[in-house]
Structure 1
Amino acid sequence: ISNWRIGPITEGMITTLEISMASLVFAVIIGLFIGLGRISRNLAIRQLCITYIEIIRGTPLLVQIFIFY
């Protein structure tokens, strides 16, 4: 415990916040486009967005992580 330093913890916290902010930005952008596509007048775009939403909602998060990873 005497060799404990705040540097690595602070660095890890900053990295975590950076990744969280980047994820938030991407999620808002993707959500905006999917949401706008969901209310689109174009039937193909609307159906594609509805299908995407139903697949994402219908599968457990752990399964999605395995698929996307």
Structure 2
Amino acid sequence: MEEVERIDKRISDTSRKQDEKIKKLIVKDSELARGIRGVKADLEDAFTGDVMLEIFGALIFFQGVLMSAMV
């Protein structure tokens, strides 16, 4: 009977350790996903800013071309 209890305890300890490892992996996965979303948002903001700057520069260039054509 003691052998059965010892095996049962070992199984429950192993199961508990596996559950803890799984929980840690889930937490790490969610932290990683949160970090990736943050980097993606930063890159999108930077890209949007660069595109707007390029468009603004092109508008100023074409305005200069039109002004010189009118003179």
Please report the TM-score for the alignment, with normalisation by the length of structure 1: 0.52
> How far is 1:24 from its partner?
1.1
* Corresponding residue of 1:10: 26
Q: Distance in 2 between matches of 1:15 and 1:36?
A: 31
Range with greater deviation from structure 2 (3-12 or 34-43): 34-43
What is the root-mean-square deviation in Å for CA atoms of aligned residues?
1.6
**For 1:22-59, what per-residue CA distance to the aligned partner results, in whole angstroms no more than 9, with x for missing partners?**
1111111110000111121346xxxxxxxxxxxxxxxx
Partner of 1:32: 48
Q: In the aligned structure 1, how far is the partner of 2:60 from the partner of 2:29? A: 44
Larger RCO (CA under 8 A, 6+ residues apart): 1
Q: When you count helix as a share of all residues, which structure comes out higher?
A: 2
Distance 2:27 2:35 in 1: 12
Give the number of aligned pairs: 42
- Identify the residue that residue 20 of structure 1 maps to in structure 2: 36
The runs of 4+ residues in structure 1 deviating greater than 2 Å are: 2-5
